[in-house]
Amino acid sequence: MSESTAREVWRAVLGDLQLQLPRPTFETWLKPTEGVAYDDHVFVVEAPNPFAVEWLERRIYHALQKTLKKVSGREFELQLKVRSEGDFYAVEQAPATSNQAGSATPTAQPLFEMRSFNPKYSFESFVAGPSNRLALSASRAVAESPGQTYNPLFLHSGAGLGKTHLLQAIGKTCASRGMSVLYVTSEQFTNEFITAIRNRTTEEFRRRYRSVQVLLIDDVQFLSGKEQTHEGFFHTFNDLHNAGNQVVISSDRPPRELVSIEDRLRSRFEWGLIADIQAPDLETRMAILAAKADQLRVDMEDSVIELIAKRVQRNVRELEGSLNRMVAYSQLMNVNISLESTLQILNEMAPEANARSIDPQRIFEQVAIFYALSVGDLMAKNRTKKVALARQVAMYLLIYELELSPTQVGRLLGGRDHSTVIHGAGKINGEVTENGQVRKDVLAIKEAIFA
Could you give the domains of the chain? Answer: 6-87 (3.30.300.180), 109-277 (3.40.50.300), 282-353 (1.10.8.60), 356-450 (1.10.1750.10)
For 227-243, give one letter per residue: b (16+ CB within 10 A) or e.
eebbebbeebbeebbee
Query: Which pairs count as long-range contacts for 25-29, CB under 8 Å and 24+ apart, including other chains?
Result: 25/60, 26/317, 27/116, 27/118, 27/164, 28/116, 28/185, 28/187, 28/188, 29/55, 29/56, 29/59, 29/60
> Does the pLDDT at position 153 exceed 90?
yes
d(CA 164, CA 155): 9
The answer on pLDDT for 390 being more than 90 is: yes
Contact 168, 118 (CB under 8 A): yes
- pLDDT class of 167 with cuts at 50, 70, 90: very high
For 147: left if phi > 0, alpha if psi spans -120 to 50, otherwise beta; the answer is left
Of residues 226 and 136, the one with the higher pLDDT is: 136
- What pLDDT score was predicted for residue 4? 62
**CA–CA distance, 82 with 116 (Å, rounded to integer):** 15
DSSP β-ladder status, 181-185 and 214-218: parallel
Which residues on adjacent β-strands are paired with residue 294? Answer: none
Residues 6+ positions from 259 with CB-CB distance below 8 Å: none
Rounded average pLDDT over 91-115: 38
Say whether pLDDT at 29 is over 70. Answer: yes
Q: Which of 95-104, 212-221, 349-358, 422-431 has the lowest mean pLDDT?
A: 95-104
| Distance from C-alpha of 94 to C-alpha of 315, rounded to nearest angstrom | 39
The stretch 309-326 carries a mean pLDDT of 77
Q: What global pTM score does this model have?
A: 0.55
> Is the pLDDT assigned to residue 159 strictly greater than 80?
no
242-252 per-position pLDDT tens digit: 888 999 999 88
Instruction: Give 357: exposed, middle or buried? Use CB within 10 Å, 0-12, 13-18, 19+.
Output: exposed
Q: What is the pLDDT of residues 54-88, one digit of tens each?
A: 778 878 888 898 889 888 888 888 989 887 543 33
Query: CA 242, CA 263: separation in Å to the nearest integer?
Result: 19
Query: What is the bridge-based pairing of β-strands 246-251 and 34-38?
Result: unpaired
**Does the pLDDT at position 418 exceed 60?**
yes
- 10 Å CB burial of residue 202 (0-12, 13-18, 19+) is middle
Indicate if the pLDDT at residue 105 is higher than 70: no
Tell me the pLDDT tens digit for each residue of 330-365: 777 777 777 777 776 666 655 444 444 578 888 999
Other Cβ atoms closer than 10 A to 389: 18
